[in-house]
Amino acid sequence: MNKSRKVVILAETGIFVAIAVVLDLIFGAIYSLPMGGSISLAMLPIFIIAARRGWKYGLVAGALYGLVQTMIKVYFLSIPQYIMDYLVSFMVVGLAGVVPSMLRKPSRFAAGILLGSLLRLISATITGLIYWRTFIPDEIVFMNSLFGTDLGGLFASENAAITFAAFLYNALYMIPSAILCVLVGLVLHRRGVVSFQLDRTA
pLDDT of residue 108: 97
What pLDDT score was predicted for residue 129? 92
How much is the pLDDT for 27?
95
- Across the 202 residues of the chain, what is the mean pLDDT of every consecutive 10-residue run? 83 95 94 91 97 96 93 80 91 97 95 98 94 87 91 85 94 97 97 74 44
- pLDDT for 36 equals 86
Domains plus CATH for the chain?
3-201 (1.10.1760.20)
pTM of the model: 0.91
pLDDT at 44: 98
Res 201: pLDDT = 44
Predicted pLDDT of residue 202: 44
pLDDT for 1 equals 65
Q: How far, in whole angstroms, is CA 9 from its chain's centroid?
A: 21
pLDDT, residue 2, reads 77
pLDDT value of position 75: 72
CA-CA-CA-CA torsion for 26, 85, 94, 66, nearest 10 degrees? 50
